[in-house]
Amino acid sequence: MPPPRPPVVIASANGNHFRNGGRETCVEHAFSLIADGADVLDALVAGVTIVELDPEETSVGFGGLPNADGVVQLDASCMHGPRKRAGGVAALEGVATAARVAQLVLEHSDHHLIAGAGAKAFARRMGLSIEPDLNSPRSRTVWQEWRRRVDAIGGIDEAAPSALRAIELAMIADGWIDANHFYGTINCNGVNAKGDVCGVTTTSGLAWKIPGRIGDSPILGAGLYVDNEVGAAGSTGRGEANLYNLCSFVIVEEMRRGAHPKDAGMEVLKRIKNNTVEKRLLNSRGLPNFGINFYIINAKGEYAGVTMYEGSSFAICNENGPQTVKCDGLLQGRPSE
């Protein structure tokens, strides 16, 4: 009988950056828990909670960039490979730890997804505290600057989508927001020594989105997909592109047919590129003017991080410790070029 393999945890790059004042990052903490015998999903949720609670991270949880009304609305999903169960929340307000609420949906309901006021009420029934505002001073200040620019062109109800997109790109170019944080999100997937696979994705969603907008993160097959016999895939970046193509599901199916995680990821990036045809979403080269990343692991512990444009990174923790490494890119240059 072959010896057990060491656990592997993979995440978006913010999974090996934020510590919320503690000693461990998301991937470090999740790996240590899995290595000590914890349930894989319990470990992953504990890991992303570190990021959700860190006010310096503006793409998830507390301090996540709010919607157009200045309200932080969170989306999250999780999938437990061995149990073949899933849970998610969307447009959740008042609870920074959206991944934990998604896990509670998995554990304590017959549903996969609960949204809006119902998600908040469910979290309250599960004993979680409801906060009046999840904005940090930083996220509030950035929203105020966005609102000032939108009001200068007549307000959100009068502005065309292309004009709003121009403001978004200008906010990134002017340094108000990091390009990776505009779309937000942390995805974290892991496999233990027995080959059990789980995953979680949590986000504050698209910055300054229309209130009630739900992105790819809580949608099974888009922001996250797990099959215990095959592996897991999750995403950060432009959620609408992922939703249109259901990329995480496709990646797992590509791996089921024998593809390596990197090759499976590249296949869906090509699909996104070919299906992006709206002028407002194309740069001067006729290519997508947005970024999107996928974080992929199979049941054997092989992994990859892939991105539309070279330059992005991802986090990995295995027996060699935590690392942040470059993703494999489909395209050269930058999305804005």
The residues that are catalytic are 185
Angle between helices 98-108 and 116-125 (to 10 degrees): 80
Tell me the DSSP string of 228-256.
Answer: TTTEEEEEEE-HHHHHHHTHHHHHHHHHH
Q: Say if CB 336 and CB 279 are below 8 A apart.
A: no
Sequence-distant (6+) residues with CB within 8 A of 122 are: 89, 101, 104, 105, 109, 114
For 3, phi then psi, to 5°, come to -65, 150
At 273 the three-state DSSP class reads helix
- Compute the distance between CA of residue 186 and CA of residue 205 in angstroms, rounded to an integer: 10
User: What whole-number distance in Å separates Cα of residue 218 and Cα of residue 87?
Assistant: 8
